[in-house]
Amino acid sequence: DAMVIQNPRYQVTQFGKPVTLSCSQTLNHNVMYWYQQKSSQAPKLLFHYYDKDFNNEADTPDNFQSRRPNTSFCFLDIRSPGLGDAAMYLCATSREEADGYTFGSGTRLTVV
Amino acid sequence: AQKITQTQPGMFVQEKEAVTLDCTYDTSDPSYGLFWYKQPSSGEMIFLIYQGSYDQQNATEGRYSLNFQKARKSANLVISASQLGDSAMYFCAMTSSNDYKLSFGAGTTVTVRA
């Protein structure tokens, strides 16, 4: 089945140690999004790719970076994770028309 | 800019009863889409139902229906015959013709009691 896959499902990283979260899709959607969701809060958009064009939200910290080497894959890099970066990270895709979003199952990041 | 408001932080509902989750929105775009998502404790975001701004009829998907009142800018979700598995966080969200990024409301936690 076509879907959005996030790996790993759970990630534990040390304070200050770089970590990469991955997302892949088989839907051939041209837009891919990364959301951060802290406990009991709404998801917050960090950035998105429209094809190869990177779009950063104004309040996304510089500590967060992203790469999209091809249509299928998108990575979230956290250069120096702090305790405040512990959250669920959700990847989503959509067509340009944006009448359907597909979410991955998320990666729950713990910083120790 | 588009804005979604969910005023109910949490709700309790008895099993087999119906529950209505409130959602109001604000946008200046004439064309927009409204979504409801369910997020259980496992964390995945599950799409429930979609309503387009030009749709004449309210959307329905099984036990889910969307009460769309365009003039009042509201898009309430009705869950009929609640089940224990409906206990989750529910998010209202929207996109518009000028902003295809999905914007979320604060969410409502629903707890179904046996």
Asked whether the beta carbons of A87 and A36 are under 8 A apart, the reply is yes
Q: Kindly identify which residue of chain A lies nearest to residue B95, measuring between CA atoms.
A: A98
Q: If you write DSSP's letter for every residue of A33-75 in order, what string do you get?
A: EEEEE-TTS--EEEEEEETTEEEE-TT--TTEEEE-SSSSEEE
Q: Band the pLDDT of A1: cuts 50, 70, 90.
A: low
Interface residues of B toward A, Cβ cutoff 8 Å, are: 33, 35, 37, 42-47, 50, 52, 89, 91, 95, 100-102, 104-107, 109
* Phi, psi torsion values for A26, nearest 5 degrees: -115, 15
> How confident is the model at residue A99, as a pLDDT?
57
Structure confidence at residue A2 (pLDDT): 62
Q: Which of B2, B1, B8 is nearest to B106 (CA)?
A: B8
Residue B37 is encoded by which pair of tokens?
A: 């998502």
The ranges of chain B with pLDDT < 50 are none
Percentage with pLDDT > 90 across chain A: 88
- Using alpha carbons, list the distances in angstroms from residue B47 to A111, B1, B29: 29, 23, 23
Give contacts of A97 with chain B, Cβ < 8 Å.
Answer: 100
Q: B107, A100: Cβ pair inside 8 Å?
A: no
**A17-63 pLDDT per residue, tens:** 999 999 999 999 999 999 999 998 999 999 999 999 999 998 999 99
With CB atoms and an 8 Å threshold, state whether A100 touches B105. Answer: no
Compare CB distances from B95 to A88, A98, A103 and report the shortest one's residue.
A98
pLDDT, tens only, B31-54: 999 999 999 998 999 999 999 999
Q: Do A98 and B33 touch (CB under 8 A)?
A: yes
Q: Closest residue of A to B89, CA-based?
A: A40
What Cα–Cα distance (Å) separates residue B59 from each residue in A38, B67, B100?
Answer: 30, 8, 20
Best B45, B49, B53, B111 member to test A by mutation, with max A CBs in 10 Å, is B45
